[in-house]
Amino acid sequence: MNTKKQYALCINNKDYEASLIPRKIYEIIPDGRAEQDDFVRVIDESGEDYLYHVSHFVFLELPVEVEQALVTA
């Protein structure tokens, strides 16, 4: 089982201005069913997880040090 956290950078918050902030890094929650339909489950500004289309994000491969800093922040 892969326990590595996944992150994405918001590049477009059109129609979701209250929920997503451009240029902010968001944690991704794996959701195989959503991925089949080109959606991703993101913990957004509400602190809850919601589905957004993948076109709102660029997915990131972060160095371990950066991931650790995000987890402790």
Average pLDDT per 10 consecutive residues for the chain, totaling 73 residues: 79 96 96 96 96 97 83 74
The answer to whether the predicted template modeling score (pTM) of the entire model surpasses 0.95 is no
Per-residue confidence (pLDDT) for residue 1, from 0 to 100:
45
Per-residue confidence (pLDDT) for residue 25, from 0 to 100:
95
**If residue 43 lies in a helix (H) or strand (E), which one and from where to where?**
strand 39-43
Q: Residue 72 has what DSSP assignment?
A: H
Q: d(Cα 53, Cα 41) in Å, to the nearest integer?
A: 9
CATH number attached to the domain at 6-72: 2.30.30
Per-residue confidence (pLDDT) for residue 3, from 0 to 100:
63
Per-residue confidence (pLDDT) for residue 27, from 0 to 100:
93
